[in-house]
Structure 1
Amino acid sequence: MSEDGNYGWNRRDVLRTTGAVGAAAALGGVASATPGREPGAKEGEVLVGVSKPKGTPKDVVEQYVPGNAEVVHQNETLSYVAVKFPAQAPDVARQNFIDAVTKKEGVKYAEENATYETQLSPNDPQYGSQYAPQQVKSDQAWDTTLGDSSVTIAVVDTGAQYDHPDLAGNYKSNPGYDFADGDSDPYPDVPSDEYHGTHVSGCAAAVVDNGSGVAGQGNSSLINGRALDESGSGSTSDIADAIEWAADQGADVINLSLGGGGYTSTMKNAVSYATTNGALVVAAAGNDGSGSVSYPAAYSECMAVSAVDDNENLASFSQYGSSVEICAPGVDVLSTTTEARGSYEKLSGTSMATPVTSGVAGLTLAKWSSLSNSDLRAHLKNTAEDIGLSSDQQGSGQADAYAAVTTDPSNSGGGDGGGDGGGGGDSTSASVDGSLSGYYDYDNYSYAWSYSSPSQVVVELDGPSDADFDLYVNTGTTTNASPSNYDYGSYSADSQESITIDSPDTSTDMQIDVDSYSGSGSYTLTITEYQ
């Protein structure tokens, strides 16, 4: 980007006097479940993230693990290991390890292997007519497209009965992977108990126009990354591995009908990886009725979904807040369940609203296949229908499939949308190239906004593969961003970073820091604003 362009970049190079020592070659890896690990929560485990140029995470961390603990799992792509302490070990032992290991060279973070759960509020089974596809106008959109099998929605959840008569036509021939049990089959272990993922799959993409059962939002292809056990609980590590796997499978949309584990760097890096690799990550706002959104929906990389009922009122259980971007039906939603449970049932939760939104996203891509994940996210918000709720409750509005497939993304936001993030569908993008000399180096930028009130801005860093560069952003201030002072950060184990900010504060120029954690090389920094 030129110094005298419309964007007003201002670059200030500063060398620091402290930091880590030089880098080793980065090593790749493919996420896979570690044999012998039990599904569900991983109590007593600590996740340790390592800068990729320092070597494999196990090699870096193992030397610091106390004698009563062991490395039990490694993900080289996300560059972390799980360290398991004995069940009888006191909490202070894990905390002492976390405090000590984070001071070691090449270690970026250490944290408890938090537990996440399905975002479901079950009711007694009720059979009747669907309302979700009609309420989000998928049925009207079907006059334009029924969906396309080239679009893939990954359901990261419990297992799913992928051979269900109303799902088999849309599940891929290789239906997924089981990260909870560590095998290649995501089929439910106990179909009468494990039904959540089957219901979620049907909300998104039960086969449309097959003459039986229910209809999802469109005929997208489905895959399942089983990361939760029969009770609906799962560990950060299993979910993060499943998200990475889904992105590596080329998923266009990744559905996360789960939450409650709090902020973790491991999960943050997983959703950042998926976003950087082109997936739209759609996540449940949560079910405790509070005025803030649960993680992972609260990460800027995720599109947070709240739930409404068939009267288009906010569901009593749905969490809400400024992070909500869109809403969808989530009360008494009829969808597929395992045949052992009767094949169909009604369930409630933001777990249901999320795959309805994911299904609308898939249907939209069937019509507008060239949309990037950022463009798709903006288009769904721009075409959402204002149903009269506050922006904290509905975000930009209720997902509107008809508006999404009939409105040209290059023209306008269309629809009846009226919440934050609505408006025109225009975007503008520009980039700047730079280089960093080593761990002691960073570049600060000031960025003058092109739009007065953009609905979203995406900041992306593409750096060298043999270094570890991080990205930090401040808005609404003239204070430089830095690793110790930032509003938004992306600091994965490599140099591919992405930050998404909805309705950014444009009262001052945006402050951006490109920081070398280790290594040197050239990079490209790209800013995309959406109107």
Structure 2
Amino acid sequence: MVTLKLVLLLCVGFVTARPPVKRKESKHEIQADYIVTFKSEFDLTETTSDVVKQFPHFKVIPKLQYVYEKVVHGIALQGVSKEALDWLDKQVYIDYIEKSEEWTQNSCSISSPSEPIAYSNQFNWGLDRIDEQPYPISGWDYTPSGDGTGVNIYIVDSGIQADHDQFSNVVALSTGVTCSNNDNHHGTWVAGVAAATNFGTAKGAKLVDVKVACASASTKDIATGLDKIAIDVTSSVKCVVVISYTTLTNYTSVESAMTVLHNEGCIIVAAAGNQGESALYYPAAYSEVISVGAVNANNKKPCFSNYGPTVDIYAPGTNIWTTDQNSTATNMLVKVTGTSFAAPFVAGVAAIHLGLGVSASNVNATIMSDAITSAISNLPSQSHNRILYVD
């Protein structure tokens, strides 16, 4: 008998001056990271050069970490002191400045096998759930009408172990986050639910690794990952983006990125959060995003899942078998819980619809109209009582 070990995770030249820009962040923070955006009438390359030329004059020299190309008109700076921040505040070309802070990762727990197990000995009840109406029906079955072939699922997360034997179609976008994938297994777990060979929702989709985190993710790195996706997406690319990190802060830069990706035809899916409340958590709360809560095998919302009017739909999110990350990447699985793993079910279904020819503008409505309604028995009022379903 395989012994399971429970590991709990955290439930993630001279320029005319002008008056300081109003910011949500305290000006007294020192050596923090910031997203600095410029007014649209100022050239990005020239303005960035003007800013960087000032760095040697500061006692603490900031680092230019990234120049955004599409999602915002600006740059990411690392190690900004109060002196540098005060100077930036006064420049006429500044639109807004946002402090980069850490986001929450929405996995509650995992159960890891102590030794490799045969895939044939396990099944993902979540897949059975999303193609049965009503549920449960005797026997296990998952036979959707498509598999997401021809669609890119962008996993904005902690990295994917591409050589895992459950993955056959993984590419990566370079984001500058260079820590080892082994720092955190979260991205591999999310990718497995979305598109693993045995346990994935859209088994034919291409997984795109957009690594934005090591042990935690930050605003500037998430924005960088989203910018890389916007650059990668062309008219010929069918695009699904899944994000399993949340924050209570409504960042203008991230909201801008959501709008840009939505306008590029991307379906954006995000975990609703594991705080067990109805507060607004971003990016799930943005109108361009499908916000996903969790449901268990008994058609109930688990206590950790967020709810309320901004949660669009619920998907399996407890005790889900998926791919684990390890040195050999052979025959390794893990059982996971959290809205982090409900979101990739929806991302996979979105990929299936896109692969079958549903237009990007109609995918959201298709998912909502296909959903099983009024089946969640303990959902608080003012919530959308929908469970993901794919035929």
1:320 aligns with 2:320: no
User: Structure 1 residues 148 and 116, CA, compared in 2 at 3 Å: closer, same or farther?
Assistant: same
Does 2:35 align with 1:47?
Answer: yes
Matched, 1:204 2:200: no
| Residue 70 (1) aligns with residue 62 (2) | yes
1:307 equivalenced with 2:274 (yes/no): no
Q: How far off is 1:140 after superposition?
A: 6.4
CA contact (8 A) 1:115 1:261 kept: no
Q: In the alignment, residue 352 of structure 1 is paired with which amino acid? A: F
**Structure 1 counterpart of 2:145, which letter?**
T
Alpha-carbon deviations, 1:212-248, whole Å to 9, x = none?
A: x53434421111101111x2x1121111111122233
Residue 132 (structure 2) pairs with residue 144 (structure 1): no
Task: State the number of aligned residues.
Answer: 335
In structure 2, runs of 5+ residues without a counterpart are 1-17, 19-29, 133-139
Aligned to 2:339: 350
Q: Do the aligned residues in 2 keep the contact of 1:288 with 1:318 (CA within 8 Å)?
A: yes
SS in 2 for 1:47: strand
Write the distance in 2 (CA, Å) between the matches of 1:306 and 1:105. 43
| AA of the residue aligned to 2:224 | D
Give the aligned residue type for 2:195: A
Whether the 8 Å CA contact 1:323–1:392 is kept in 2: the answer is no
Match of 1:220, as an amino acid? A
**Are the structure 2 counterparts of residues 227 and 85 from structure 1 closer, same or farther at C-alpha, using a change threshold of 3 Å?**
closer
> 2:129, 2:351 → 1: CA distance?
17
Q: Distance in 2 between matches of 1:63 and 1:152?
A: 39
Q: Within 5 A, what are the aligned runs for 1:267-306?
A: 267-306=254-293
Tell me how far apart the structure 1 counterparts of residues 64 and 242 of structure 2 sit (CA, whole Å).
Answer: 27
Q: CA deviation at 1:80?
A: 1.7
In structure 1, how many angstroms separate the alpha carbons of the residues matched to 2:305 and 2:389?
19
Residue number among 61, 66, 77 corresponding to 1:83 in the alignment: 77
Cα separation, 1, equivalents of 2:31 and 2:314: 33
Match of 1:510? none
The equivalences for 1:164-243 within 5 A come to 164-168=164-168, 170-171=169-170, 175-181=171-177, 189-191=180-182, 193-207=183-197, 213-229=198-214, 231=215, 233-243=216-226
User: C-alpha separation between the residues in 2 aligned to 1:359 and 1:102?
Assistant: 43
- Relative to structure 1, the CA distance from residue 76 to residue 364 in structure 2 (aligned partners, 3 Å threshold; closer, same or farther) is closer
1:308 CA displacement? 1.0
TM-score, normalised to structure 2, is: 0.77
Partner SS for 1:381: helix
In 1, Cα distance between equivalents of 2:141 and 2:351: 15
With over 3 angstroms needed to count, the CA separation of the structure-2 counterparts of 1:382 and 1:217, relative to structure 1, is same
Shift of 1:61: 4.3
- Which position in structure 2 is the counterpart of 1:436? none
**Equivalent residue, structure 2, for 1:23:** none
- Between structures 1 and 2, the one with greater helix share: 2
1:364 aligned residue: 353
Percent of residue pairs bearing the same amino acid type? 24
Structure 1: where are the runs of 5+ without partners?
1-19, 21-41, 183-187, 208-212, 403-531
Deviations 1:168-212 (A, max 9, x none): 2x32xxx11242535xxxxx8253x431111111101112xxxxx
Supply the AA of the counterpart residue of 2:74: Y
Q: CA deviation at 1:103?
A: 5.7
Instruction: Check whether the contact 1:114–1:262 (CA below 8 A) recurs between aligned residues.
Output: no
Q: Distance in 2 between matches of 1:79 and 1:151?
A: 28
1:248 aligns with 2:231: yes
1:106 and 2:124 correspond: no
Q: Deviations over 1:78-136 (max 9, x none)?
A: 222223346xx5xxx27x936x7456433221110121232111233268432010111
Aligned pair in 2 of structure 1 residues 215, 85: CA closer, same or farther (>3 Å)?
closer
After superposition, the Cα gap between the structure-2 partners of 1:347 and 1:53, relative to the gap in structure 1 and judged at 3 Å, is same
SS of residue matched to 1:331: coil
| Superposition deviation, residue 397 in structure 1 | 0.5
Give the Cα–Cα distance (whole angstroms) in 2 for the partners of residues 248 and 190 of structure 1. 23
**Which one has more relative contact order, counting CA pairs under 8 Å at least 6 apart?**
2
- Listed one character per residue, the Cα deviations across residues 395-420 of structure 1 (whole Å, up to 9, x for unaligned) are 35111111xxxxxxxxxxxxxxxxxx
Distance change in 2, residues 1:122/1:81 (3 Å): same
SS at structure 1 position matched to 2:299: coil
Give the aligned CA root-mean-square deviation in angstroms. Answer: 2.8
8 Å Cα contact 1:133-1:217 kept in structure 2:
no
d(CA) in 2 for partners of 1:181, 1:395 = 37
1:97 to 54, 60, 85: 85
Name the structure 2 match of 1:121: 108
Answering whether residue 292 of structure 2 is matched by residue 330 of structure 1, we say: no
**Residues 226 and 148 (structure 1), Cα distance of their counterparts in 2 relative to 1, 3 Å cut:** same
Per the alignment, residue 513 of structure 1 pairs with none
Task: Select the structure of larger CA radius of gyration.
Answer: 1
CA contact (8 A) 2:153 2:351 kept: yes
Q: Normalized per residue, which structure has more strand? A: 1
